[in-house]
Structure 1
Amino acid sequence: MQLAQHSSGKHSTQINQHSKLLIVEDEVLFARAVMRQLQKAGYECEHVENLKDARSIIKQFTPDIVLLDMRLPDGNGMDLLLEFVAKSIAVIVMTAHGEISDTVNAIKQGAVDYLKKPIDLEELLLSVQKAETTVIQSNSLDYSRQRNAHATEGVELLGDSGAMQSVKAQIKRIAQLVASDTVPPTVLISGETGTGKDVAARLLHLSCANSDKPFVHIDCASLPDDLIESELFGHEKGAYTGALNTRPGLIEAAEDGTLFLDEIGELPLALQAKLLNVLERRVVRRIGSTKERAVPARFIAATNRDLHEMTLVGRFRQDLYYRLNVMSITLPPLRERAGDAMLLAQHFALQTSRRYGLVANPTFSQEAVRMINSYSWPGNVRELRHQVSRAMLLCHESQITETDLALPMTGKSVNIDDLTPLDVAERTILLQALAEANNNVSEAARILGITRMTMRYRMEKHQIVMRP
């Protein structure tokens, strides 16, 4: 029996209680000793002595990890290794002294680790724990890929206006520029909040040769300051307090797919330099690691801020701005997309109706159509979707009326051309605040940092009244 006992005492590492292991080993006494040790650590184990029984048992017992001997009575363990790897099962090979060529070949074929006989129990448990971490990370990334794959299904930029036709043509042209064997150029998507920058990024991903690869969406504005570096770049076990396991970052998770950095203007200055290094050298290094890993992913960034203006005041690195802005797409606000508002409204009404099992063919009253076409939509497509979906849920019949829409409208027609630039800016700010506050005047006043009385005064000045 080739089993070396360790003198350091009981192993204290915490192990996942639900992991299942299969031991494929013809030396029965050795296998039983390993099973006792693993079961004591919380693993569910099974043991077989040959290839035939291994192939049979996995039909009922699906292991997370396999301890595989390379020399078995009915063949070479390499044949079984390939079958397990194809099923995404982590394999640790066990080899006798002098079988170096088998070990190297096994690692090349997908084994996560190898152990030389006689095997140290401490080393075995550490190897199993490392394999378990690999399985958890792999499952996590698989889930992320599936989730993002669903998020890209049916993605479409709706709109027949000239402005949107130009955007669609740009996306098509950028997609055609990228060959699968070249480093893809970075793309910067700019536009006001709610114009559909995330949709444009997903459509660009789907239009390229790597559309079957991962699409990883990172919202730079929502990542906590104390975790953002670890989330992006990953970390090694023990790199800092709380880093209990090695974890790849989201940049690595994108692999050879697309990494979408949404709200890039919110990225802290300290990390902007690190991101620039990734873009320039196409490598990433986890926190606490000395090893650099290749980054083949395409980078798409989006912002509703003026990054050029931010570089002038020192809030965004100029070199990173130029590196991101290799190819650029600007999404127009909805008020500049003549005719698209009604097209989108009909789409969102039908979408909501189908989702909640309402009327088959929702329509809009003439007054509702007029309101949709004349409203400035400061919140853009996102505001339109919210208002129409809400109206669809509230309307009592198949037709959406102006009352259902409840838009903040003017009491009489306002000619924008007659207003001063300052008046236009103030009116737009008021409407945008009301949209963000879902037409709640008190909340809009809070957003703007003014009193409710001042808010009312400004609304009256610009003839903005709330419909019931």
Structure 2
Amino acid sequence: MKDVPHILVLEDERALARAIDRRLRRDGYTVAVCENLANARLAAGRRRPDLAVLDLRLPDGDGLAFLEWLRADIVDAPAIVMTAFGELDDAIAAMRLGAVDFLKKPLDLDALSRIASDALQPESPVSSSAASGAESPVGPTIVGESPEMVALRRQIERIAALGAGEAPPNVLIVGETGTGKDLLARYLHAQSPRAAAEFVQVDCAALPRDLIEAELFGHEKGAFTNAHRARRGLLAAAGQGSAFLNEIGELPLALQAKLLNALESRTVREIGSDTERPIDAWFIAATHRDLAEMMAAGDFRQDLYYRLNVLTLHVPPLRERGEDVIALARHFVASIAVRYDRAVPTLTADAEQALRRHDWPGNVRELRHVLERAVLVHADTRIESTHLGIERRDRRLPAVDTASMKSAPVTTLADSERELIRQTLAATGDNVSETARRLGLSRGALRYRLDKYDIEAGR
């Protein structure tokens, strides 16, 4: 009988480490959990892991150095790295050292479970990065009864019925960062006749640029350095299910033509192959970018835009959804508490009032992160407004100098946006990451606007 796979987990955040430990043991693995590099080296020496799950920022050193040591001196085992915001470069470096995948925090334990399963079965031809947003087996749900969400749910259900057949119409989901476009894509798939088939998510913004073509289209063995075996691409891996192209606006221009050809011909040619493989998936794309502006700037192909934008779903920002913020908050508090094996706390009246007052520039994603921190750090039985931290954050936001705005030649929405970005940069000392956070933008979205308005930090 084959030995039970052994997994080494290196994570210094105790609540998360316990949650990972419970989930992987429930999946049938043996697990060694370490909070620092010194203990991880001892654990790896005592028993060689079949898989390593690693944080990149540890109290006593660098997770990348540990991964390099592990694979050179102990065992050439696959690894999964966990990254926080702003650590994508480190994740790419880890993949070059042999990591099979990376997950962004806050961690999705269902995705980790699936990636671990794939990593421990090396004969599997499909990259597990497709599961980076996987839902639990009960399927995705849409929380909220605002008129905007009721109308959107009805629209999704009508479009879902069109998902059958050989070439269903492509769907484009648009909305601000953090509104839950990926959840809506999974909900659309779950409501469609393709629900029993695969849902494959491709994160165009997260995949390293030097790997994205191979991930999307697949490759033959020996097609490039480190292509030690043939691998089917994610578009083909979706089979007769759905292929979700998340943040399609981040796809490099050089690959947009190849994607367009795949959408039109419904075939893909793997890197290093002379033959084409048919694809049967339903294509769903999403973006927070203004693709019309990108087309005008020459950053997005017009023909690809019209091929993707057959049917469009507009996701409203959280600030326009009224009391949905409370329904979502209660839903998140319950699910987060269950996930970390804690009692479900209640939101006090003052906490709910604070949630209503906040503008939520980061939308539903920001709400979930705020509540996850409150549940893990503060809450026993109640979550107070002071546990949320959002009122203090609101006071730190830079005030717009309306007097100077009136005296300046600001006449359009673009002028106002340019001026707000400049003021926020000045308030943060030209810190681009902090500016993006305060404005509720991703770093990529802010960089796009800096280029668009010809703004340089410090100028």
Given the two structures, how large is their TM-score scaled by the length of structure 2? 0.60
Contact 1:265 1:305 in 2 (8 A): yes
> What displacement does 1:246 show?
1.9
**How many residues matched?**
307
**Secondary structure of the corresponding residue to residue 213 of structure 2:** helix
Q: Of the candidates 372, 377, 384, which is equivalent to residue 360 of structure 2?
A: 377
Contact 1:148 1:214 in 2 (8 A): no
Q: 1:431 to 1:140 in 2, by over 3 A?
A: farther
> What displacement does 1:392 show?
1.9
Per the alignment, residue 281 of structure 1 pairs with 265
> What displacement does 1:146 show?
8.6
Per the alignment, residue 166 of structure 1 pairs with 151
Per the alignment, residue 349 of structure 2 pairs with 366
Contact 2:126 2:232 in 1 (8 A): no
Query: What aligned pairs does 1:22-421 form with structure 2 within 5 A after superposition?
Result: 139-141=124-126, 151=136, 153-179=138-164, 181-360=165-344, 362-407=345-390, 408-410=393-395
> What displacement does 1:210 show?
1.1
Q: Which amino acid aligns with 1:197?
A: K
Contact 2:131 2:201 in 1 (8 A): no
Q: 1:432 to 1:246 in 2, by over 3 A?
A: farther
**Secondary structure of the corresponding residue to residue 124 of structure 2:** helix
> What displacement does 1:396 show?
4.8
Q: 1:178 to 1:379 in 2, by over 3 A?
A: same
Contact 1:236 1:289 in 2 (8 A): yes
Contact 1:378 1:428 in 2 (8 A): no
Paired with 2:431 and 2:263, the residues of 1 have a C-alpha distance of 42
Q: 1:391 to 1:220 in 2, by over 3 A?
A: same
Given the two structures, how large is their TM-score scaled by the length of structure 1? 0.59
Paired with 1:146 and 1:324, the residues of 2 have a C-alpha distance of 22
- Find out whether 1:447 has 2:433 as its counterpart: yes
> What displacement does 1:171 show?
0.8
Paired with 2:222 and 2:432, the residues of 1 have a C-alpha distance of 44
Contact 2:130 2:201 in 1 (8 A): no
CA RMSD of aligned residues (A): 3.6
Describe the superposition over 1:255-308 as per-residue Cα deviations: whole angstroms up to 9, x where unpaired: 111111111111111110000000001111111211111111011111110111
Paired with 1:399 and 1:345, the residues of 2 have a C-alpha distance of 13
> What displacement does 1:364 show?
2.1
Paired with 2:415 and 2:296, the residues of 1 have a C-alpha distance of 27
Paired with 2:246 and 2:422, the residues of 1 have a C-alpha distance of 26
Higher alpha-carbon Rg: 1
Q: Name whichever of 280-289 and 441-450 sits farther off.
A: 441-450
Paired with 2:195 and 2:420, the residues of 1 have a C-alpha distance of 39
> What displacement does 1:313 show?
0.7
Contact 1:236 1:243 in 2 (8 A): yes
> Which runs of 5 or more structure 2 residues have no equivalent in the other structure?
4-119, 407-412, 439-459
> What displacement does 1:446 show?
4.1
> What displacement does 1:142 show?
9.9
Q: Which amino acid aligns with 1:279?
A: L
> Which runs of 5 or more structure 1 residues have no equivalent in the other structure?
1-17, 19-134, 434-440, 453-468
Paired with 1:338 and 1:259, the residues of 2 have a C-alpha distance of 32
Q: 1:146 to 1:293 in 2, by over 3 A?
A: same
> What displacement does 1:149 show?
6.6
Contact 1:236 1:247 in 2 (8 A): yes
